[in-house]
Chains A and B, each alone.
Chain A
Amino acid sequence: MDDKTRLDLYRVMVLSRTYEEALLREYHADKKPAFDIGAGLLPGEMHLSAGQEPVAAGVCAHLRPDDAVTATHRPHHIAIAHGVDLDKMTAEIFGRQGGLGHGRGGHMHLFDPATHFSCSGIVAEGLPPALGQAFAFQQAGSDRVAAAFTGEGAANQGAFHESLNLAALWGLPVVFIIEDNDWAISVPRSASTAVASNADRAAGYGMPGQRIEDNDVDAVYAAAGDAVTRARAGDGPTLLEIHTLRLWGHFEGDPQAYRPDLAELAGRDPIPAYQARLQKAGILTAELAATIKDEASARVEKAVEFAKSSPAPEPETARDYLFA
């Protein structure tokens, strides 16, 4: 890996974290003193991805804007790493007319045709459409690929298993990525999954599988590179499972009373760890890190401004877009 690639990975992770810190601030700003999920500028469930940036950065670094990505109910880091327009995405999360879906979808339902990005609030249900996108690419004789993200909890859903079999059977150019953050809401991996590694399941469907430990963005980058190369070459799908970290609650407002590891979370934050690694390797300095953070903040605040200044949809338009 060259230095520039590693710096780029760092930049993407910092942008993603900075974005989520801003959403955290905006989400809670008008839900005080008593938390009311339906109140304020950003109502509804909010699933933030802090801690999972290495997965998105490492995988999406290999993707082009014409490759398809399907994400989950926790989509922001993946959307950012794939290059979804930050202004329009933010406006969507704020429910504004200038958003990706004109405020109809919100944070769990982001659709960006420009980067072939989508996500779904129903777990594992982003996988089957990724197969279809890959199928279309395959039929067109192109080298485009689809990356389908899911959580380790969702990997126990029928759609996951059906999708793996079909993708392998038809040699579809798909990379399946499981973000194993140890938890499915309050249910630990040990109470949901009968095998130690979901990568072991890949063999049962006739595709290569690899588990990556330690939330290590360099290792994710390497494994995803191989998987994307395979898919582009027409050699079929790959399953990657990445052991990552849910730094915050399942959704905002989650009391996390079920979670015994809260005290040690900050020490496992992958971004300061990567920063230290890059500084030790002489790739990054404290000054450059500060500049990267400042640039990220400026970009994010511009997106938040864009969102806030975009008009709210008119009530009379509620039935628009039902049919083409």
Chain B
Amino acid sequence: MSVTDSATAPPRGGVRRLTTARAVAEGIAQEMERDPRVFVLGEDIGAYGGIFGATGGLLEKFGPGRVRDTPISETAFIGLGIGAAVEGMRPIVELMFADFFGVAMDQIYNHMAKIHYESGGNVRVPMVLMTATGGGYGDAEQHSQCLWGTFAHLPGMKVVVPSNPADAKGLMISAIRDENPVVYMFHKGVMGLPWMAKNPRAIGPVPQSGDEVPIGRAAVAREGTDATVVTLSLSVHHALDVAEQMAEADGISLEVIDLRSLVPLDRQTIMSSVAKTGRLLIVDEDYQSFGVSGEVAATVAETDPGMLRAPVVRVAVPDVPIPYARPLERAVLPGPDRIRDGVHRLLKA
């Protein structure tokens, strides 16, 4: 289901409106009912329901055997997830904030991501590493990063980055069923949390059924003709807002691509759109250099740079840690103002 479908579908049989957090928890619950090998580990994922609500209600439904709070020992419990996956279980391990990957990165990138390759395909690690990303609420340098480019850079893990409730549920189901390690990165701002300002797109229709949203397929979140905006996660919300507003105010027609997955990256959807519009704006809440925005630009440059009628424009975090003070944080995050400005620069060129 594309974002456009899910955002506009009227509530009908089997489709209710949920927050993204509830959609994720529902996807996990349905898989736990279907498959006894699935279990959940992490800090405050039990009684608290996950700091960002992704595991709400699971403890009550499945008990402490399958929904386990851990000590603050990320190396130990992420590693435990790896070992359990190797032995045939289906762990979902929550790393509370992506920012905390540092204390456990060896288990993630030297073990979780490499075991299948190192073993010549003989050992599988079918686990989900779920983690919260992103800023915009004043949580500063160590609690606001997206970092998906870092995970996507390191080979051996799939990386998914849902932007809305329906995709979040379907991608979680796909991630659990996948035979590979999947890093499932949700931006706090798309979760629809009651205690954080949110875009209306954080609440939306979600199918009752346990259908997969395939990993590796981008969605055309909005069709347009003047320029392509390739983006992901919370920035999709901002880009759609800007597209709506610029269509009305300036008669500008933007096509918005929601990547949904970074690994594998749906290069075809990017190329088809740029072939149509000839102009590419990339909006990414991760650091600008050496990351997602560069990879998307390189995709066009390597495939057919001739289709570009103007140089690519990037709106990302300008290679600086996320500062605390609001005026500084606003200045570095790719909010609607910076996106609008990026569109103007792109169309003027």
Residue A159 at the B interface, CB < 8 A?
yes
Q: Which of B71, B194, B318 contacts A153 (CB 8 A)?
A: B71
In the complex, what residues of A have CB within 8 A of residue B325's CB? 95-96, 103-104, 106, 312-313
Residues of B contacting A123 in the complex (Cβ-Cβ under 8 angstroms): 72
Smallest CB gap from B74: residue in A: A157
Chain A 125-153 near chain B by CB (<8 Å), digits 1 or 0 = 10000000000000000000000000001
> Is A109 touching B140 in the complex (CB atoms < 8 A)?
yes
Contact of B71 among A44, A95, A193, A312 (CB under 8 A): A193
In the complex with contacts A185-B51, A317-B328, A253-B195 CB distance below 8 A? yes
Instruction: Please give, as numbers and ranges, the residues of chain B lying within 8 Å of A36 by CB-CB distance.
Output: 195-197
> Would A186 and B69 be within 8 Å (CB), given that A38-B136, A122-B100 are in contact?
yes
Residue contact A315 to B324, C-beta cutoff 8 Å: no
Q: Does B332 sit at the interface, judged by CB under 8 A?
A: yes
Contact B103 A122 (CB under 8 A): yes
A121 touching B140, Cβ below 8 Å = yes
Q: How far is the CA of A157 from the CA of B73 in the complex (A)?
A: 5
In the bound complex, what is the Cα–Cα distance between A27 and B60 (angstroms)? 33
Do the beta carbons of A109 and B320 come within 8 Å of each other? no
Our count of residue pairs bridging A and B at CB distance below 8 angstroms stands at: 140
Q: A95 and B326 in contact (CB under 8 A), knowing A159-B103, A185-B43?
A: yes
Give a binary string over A85-101; 1 marks a CB under 8 Å from any B CB, 0 the rest.
00000000001100000
**Assembly CA distance A158 to B74 (angstroms):** 9
Measured CB to CB, the closest approach of chain B to A88, in angstroms, equals 14
Cβ contacts A35-55/B at 8 Å (1 or 0 each)? 111110011110000000000
Q: Does A263 interact with chain B (Cβ within 8 Å)? A: no
Interface residues of B in 311-337 (CB under 8 A from A): 318-321, 323-328, 330-332
The complex places the Cα of A316 from the Cα of B332 at a distance, in Å, of 10
A225-261 near B? 1/0 per residue, CB < 8 Å: 0000000000000000000000000000100011000
Complex Cα distance A315/B328, Å? Answer: 5
How far does the Cβ of A66 sit from chain B's closest Cβ, in whole Å? 27
A187 adjacent to B328 (CB under 8 Å): no
Shortest CB distance A77–B (Å): 20
Interface check B109, CB cutoff 8 A? no
* A156 proximal to B (CB < 8 A): yes
* C-alpha spacing A107/B99, complex, angstroms: 17
Interface membership of A314, Cβ < 8 A: yes
Which of A35, A109, A192, A319 is in CB contact (< 8 Å) with B195? A35
Q: Is the interface of A mostly helix, strand, loop or mixed?
A: loop
Min CB distance, B151 to chain A, in Å?
Answer: 18
Q: Does B139 contact A (CB under 8 A)?
A: yes
Q: A105-B324, A158-B103 are in contact. Are A44 and B140 (CB under 8 A)?
A: yes
For B324, give the chain A residue with the smallest CB separation: A106
Q: Determine whether B48 belongs to the interface, using a CB cutoff of 8 Å to chain A.
A: yes
Name the distance in Å between A286's Cβ and chain B's nearest Cβ. Answer: 40
User: Are the CB atoms of B43 and A187 closer together than 8 Å?
Assistant: yes
Minimum distance in angstroms from B221 CB to a CB of chain A: 24
Question: Please, which residue of chain A has its CB at the minimum distance from the CB of B138?
Answer: A43
Whether A187 and B141, one on each chain, are in contact in the complex, defined by CB atoms closer than 8 angstroms, is no
A68-B325 Cα distance, complex, nearest whole Å: 26
**A108 CB within 8 Å of chain B:** yes
Which residue on chain B has the smallest CB distance to residue A123? B72
Interface flag for B142 (CB, 8 Å): yes
Number of interface residues of A (CB under 8 A): 49
Contact A192 B327 (CB under 8 A): no
Given the complex of chains A and B, what is the CA–CA distance between A316 and B141 in angstroms? 18
Nearest-neighbour CB distance to chain B for A124, whole angstroms, equals 8
Does residue B212 face the partner (Cβ distance < 8 Å to A)? Answer: no
In the complex, which residues 13-52 of chain A have their Cβ closer than 8 Å to any Cβ of chain B? 34-39, 42-45
Which residues of A lie under 8 Å from residue B332 when comparing CB positions?
A: 318
Chain A residues lying within 8 Å of B137, measured Cβ to Cβ, are: 37-38, 43-44
B323 close to A258 (CB less than 8 A): no
> Does B116 count as interface, using CB distance less than 8 angstroms?
no
> Which residues of A sit under 8 angstroms from B72, Cβ to Cβ?
123-124, 153-154, 156-157, 184, 192
Q: Which of B46, B142, B319 contacts A122 (CB 8 A)?
A: B142
Interface string of A163-174 (1 = CB under 8 A from B): 000000000000
A104:B44 contact, CB within 8 angstroms: no
Interface 0/1 of B265-308, CB less than 8 Å to A: 00000000000000000000000000000000000000000000
Q: In the complex, what distance in Å separates the CA atom of A35 from the CA atom of B103?
A: 31
Known contacts A313-B327, A315-B328: does B140 contact A106 (CB below 8 Å)? yes
Report yes or no: B140 in contact with A38, Cβ–Cβ below 8 A. Answer: no
A121→B327 contact, CB < 8 A: no
Interface status of B252 (Cβ within 8 A of chain A): no
Nearest-neighbor residue (CB-CB) of A253 within chain B: B195
Most buried by B among A38, A39, A184, A186: A38
Return chain A residues, CB-CB under 8 Å to B327: 312-315
Contact A44 B324 (CB under 8 A): yes
Given A39-B197, A186-B46: 18 more A-B contacts, CB < 8 Å: A38-B197, A43-B138, A121-B142, A122-B142, A153-B72, A157-B73, A157-B103, A184-B43, A185-B44, A185-B51, A187-B44, A187-B69, A187-B70, A312-B325, A313-B328, A318-B331, A319-B318, A319-B320
* Sampled A-B contacts (12; CB under 8 Å): A43-B138, A44-B143, A96-B325, A156-B72, A156-B73, A157-B73, A158-B76, A159-B103, A185-B44, A187-B69, A315-B328, A318-B318
Give me the 6 closest cross-chain CB pairs, A-B, nearest first: A43-B138, A38-B137, A106-B324, A44-B138, A95-B325, A103-B325
- Residues of A near any B CB (own CB < 8 A): 34-39, 42-45, 95-96, 103-106, 108-109, 120-125, 153-154, 156-159, 184-187, 191-193, 253, 257-258, 312-319, 322
